[in-house]
Amino acid sequence: MTSVPFCSLKYAHDQVKSEVEKAIDGVYKRGQFILGTEVEAFEEEYAAYSGARYGVGVASGLDALTLSLRLLGIGAGDEVVVPAHTYIATWLAISQVGATIVPVDAGQDMLLDLKKVEGAITTHTKAILPVHLYGAVCNMTLLTEMATRHELKIIEDNAQGQGAYWKDSMTGSIGNCNATSFYPTKNLGALGDGGAITTNDKQLYEKALVLRNYGSTDRFINPIQGFNSRLDELQAAILRVKLKKLTKWNEKRKEVAQTYFNEMKGVGDIILPPQTEGSVFHLFVIRTKQREALRSFLFQKGIGTMVHYPVPPHLQGAYTALNFKKGDFPISENLAETVLSLPMWPGLTEEQVAWVVEQVKSFFAR
Ligand SMILES: Cc1ncc(COP(=O)(O)O)c(C=O)c1O
């Protein structure tokens, strides 16, 4: 039996160990731990990687989303269109600025259903918040057209899409103000929490620098009420090392995905994820009605899996006050019941991937 953890950071971290240790040591010796040269350099490098003009490091992906909404002036009385099928953080950011969540069901590609977006737009709508969920890419051509037609802002939730692209543009460079997360298991992960805002708008960039740092323009001068949401100098130094490997690690993910696609076509009742160009496979999410049985079968064979996500935000206790009920977003609810994330990380060996494929096939052959 081959052991296949659902996710392991060991392969990636072994590759950068000595460089990361050197980077940490450098910060330690310089003794500047908040908003120093590492954060500044990382912001430039991450923005360049993302094809955006500017980057601003913040404390988490949730903060990157929340600050993006604030930067665009979105608050109470404003409506934000968001996928019903996403991680709850996307919704929480909208709640945090006091705006109104307007969920739209997922399409068969598991992303925001663009056919349903226009029906959700009202005179109060201020923004659309697409999520490049699982590292798959939303159709940004259609979304941009829609946003332009209705004079709406776009905020890309690129927490799971670092390195992904839509046509000629990297995700995180298309919306007005975009958010990503450096949670350790993300395609680009820190050794702790972290996030970033990317934008092409100089004014938003300058405002973001102030907003994330107590609203301070100069030391102890605070023209606006801001937040303490800064990316740590240590995390920035680590992320700079890891960023150099991101393209290679994403390629590895794509190779694993390609094998899954080739080998699992037509197996049992499995629905494979869409094979969109530009996806970076943060997760490889299949669907099956026999999810729980498959999951425990794979577990017995030493294969780790996860469910992203078992309860959609509209049915979470956190959102009972919004009075959504089962049946409101049927496709998202069906996804919650059928999705299964297979092992996906750079460093999975051919033997491990073959074992996953073999065991999935043998489950359906029983
Ligand atoms: C789609 C999505 N949005 C937002 C977030 C929030 O990021 P963080 O955990 O860094 O706050 C995450 C990850 O956790 C995510 O997967």
SS3 218: strand
Q: Is the CB–ligand 1 distance for residue 114 below 6 Å?
A: no
Q: Confirm whether pTM is higher than 0.95.
A: yes
40: closest CA among 233, 241, 243, 244? Answer: 233
Residue 355: which domain range? 246-365
Residue 98: per-residue pLDDT: 98
Separation CA 366–CA 156 (nearest Å): 43
Cβ of residue 158 lying under 6 Å from some atom of ligand 1: no
Last residue of a domain, one of 200, 227, 243: 243
Same structural domain, 22 and 60: yes
In this structure, are 65 and 100 located in the same domain?
yes
Do 218 and 282 belong to one domain?
no
User: Are 127 and 74 in a shared domain?
Assistant: yes
Co-location of 51 and 199 in the same domain: yes
251 touches 267 (CB < 8 A)? no
Could you give the CA distance from residue 345 to residue 254 in angstroms, rounded to a whole number? Answer: 10
Region 83-103: what's the mean pLDDT? 98
Task: Compute and round to an integer the Cα radius of gyration of the chain.
Answer: 21
Judged against a pLDDT cut of 90, whether residue 315 lies above it is answered with yes
Whether ligand 1 lies within 6 angstroms of the CB of 90 is answered as yes
Cα of 11 to ligand 1 centre, how many Å? 23
Q: Which of 218, 243, 268 is the last residue of a domain?
A: 243
Question: How far apart (Å, rounded) are the C-alpha atoms in residues 119 and 288?
Answer: 30
d(CA 9, CA 190): 11
268 domain residue, yes or no: yes
- CA gap 102, 238 in Å, rounded: 37
Residue 2 domain flag: no
Q: Which helix (H) or strand (E) holds 140?
A: helix 140-149
Does residue 3 sit within a domain? no
Cβ of 83 below 6 Å from ligand 1 = no
Give CA 84 to chain center in angstroms.
15
Q: Which residue has the tokens 């039996």?
A: 1
Separation of CA 60 and ligand 1 centre (Å):
8
For residue 230, tell me if it sits in a domain.
Answer: yes
pLDDT tens per residue across span 260-271: 999 999 999 999
Which residue has the CA at smallest separation from atom 2 of ligand 1?
159
State the pLDDT at residue 5: 98
Quick one: which H or E segment has residue 323?
none
Strands 153-154 and 125-128: parallel
* Contact (Cβ atoms closer than 8 angstroms) between residue 269 and residue 338: no
pLDDT of 54 reads 99
**CA distance linking residue 124 with residue 157, whole number of Å:** 21
Q: Tell me: do 237 and 261 sit in the same domain.
A: no
Q: What is the mean pLDDT of residues 297-323?
A: 98
Residues 34 and 169 in one domain: yes
State the DSSP code for 209: H
Query: Residue 316 and residue 318: Cα distance in Å, rounded?
Result: 5
- Do residues 150 and 30 both lie within one domain? yes
Q: Are residues 255 and 234 in the same domain?
A: no
Whether ligand 1 lies within 6 angstroms of the CB of 181 is answered as yes
Band of the pLDDT at 1, cuts 50, 70, 90?
confident
**Ligand 1 pocket, 86 CB below 6 A?**
yes
Rounded to the nearest angstrom, the distance between the alpha carbon of 189 and the centre of ligand 1 is 11
Encode pLDDT of 347-357 as tens digits.
999 999 999 99
Q: 254 with 238, same domain?
A: no
Distance (angstroms) between ligand 1 centre and the Cα of 4 equals: 25
CB atoms within 10 A of CB 8: 17
Q: Is the CB of 288 under 6 A from ligand 1?
A: no
CB atoms within 10 A of CB 53: 14
Output the CA 129–ligand 1 centroid distance in Å. 13
- pLDDT tens digit string along 218-253? 999 999 999 999 999 999 999 999 999 999 999 999
* Residue 1 located in a structural domain: no
Q: What is the pLDDT of the chain when averaged over all its residues?
A: 98
Residue 65 Cα to ligand 1 middle (Å): 9
Residues 104 and 129 reside in one and the same domain: yes
- Residues with Cβ within 8 Å of 23's Cβ and at least 6 positions away in sequence, in order, are 38, 237, 238, 240, 241
- Residue 4 resides in a domain: no
- Counting residues of the chain whose pLDDT is more than 90, the rounded percentage is 99
Same domain? For 195 and 308 the reply is: no
Contact 197, 208 (CB under 8 A): yes
Distance 27 CA to ligand 1 centre (A): 26
Contact 331, 298 (CB under 8 A): no
Q: Report the CATH number at residue 320.
A: 3.90.1150.10
Last residue of a domain, one of 224, 243, 262: 243
Entry field: residues in the chain: 366
Write down the pLDDT at residue 142. Answer: 98
- 351's CB contacts (< 8 A; 6+ apart) are 2
User: CATH number for the domain including 215?
Assistant: 3.40.640.10
Q: Which of 58, 60, 62, 132 to mutate to test the pocket of ligand 1 (most atoms within 8 A of CB)?
A: 62
User: 109-163, pLDDT tens digit by residue?
Assistant: 999 999 999 999 999 999 999 999 999 999 999 999 999 999 999 999 999 999 9
- The ligand 1 atom at the shortest distance from the C-alpha of residue 182 is 10
Q: What is the pLDDT of residues 202-221, one digit of tens each?
A: 999 999 999 999 999 999 99
pLDDT in tens, 6-37: 999 999 999 999 999 999 999 999 999 999 99
Report the separation in Å between the CA atom of 325 and the middle of ligand 1, taken as the mean of its atom positions.
24
Name the residue at shortest CA distance from atom 7 of ligand 1: 61
Question: Average pLDDT in the 337-346 region?
Answer: 98
Distance 231 CA to ligand 1 centre (A): 15
Q: Is residue 304 part of a domain?
A: yes
Beta strands in the chain (DSSP E): 54-58, 79-83, 100-104, 125-128, 153-154, 165-166, 169-170, 178-181, 195-199, 284-287, 339-342
8 A C-beta contact, residue 179 and residue 206: no
Structural domain contains residue 5: no
Cβ 87 under 6 angstroms from ligand 1: yes
DSSP string covering 5-49: -S---HHHHHHHHHHHHHHHHHHHHHT--BS-HHHHHHHHHHHHH
What secondary structure letter does DSSP report for 128?
E
Q: How far, in Å, is the centroid of ligand 1 from the Cα of 89?
A: 6
- Pocket of ligand 1, candidates 7, 155, 181: which has the most ligand atoms within 8 Å of its Cβ, to mutate? 181
Number of domains within the chain: 2
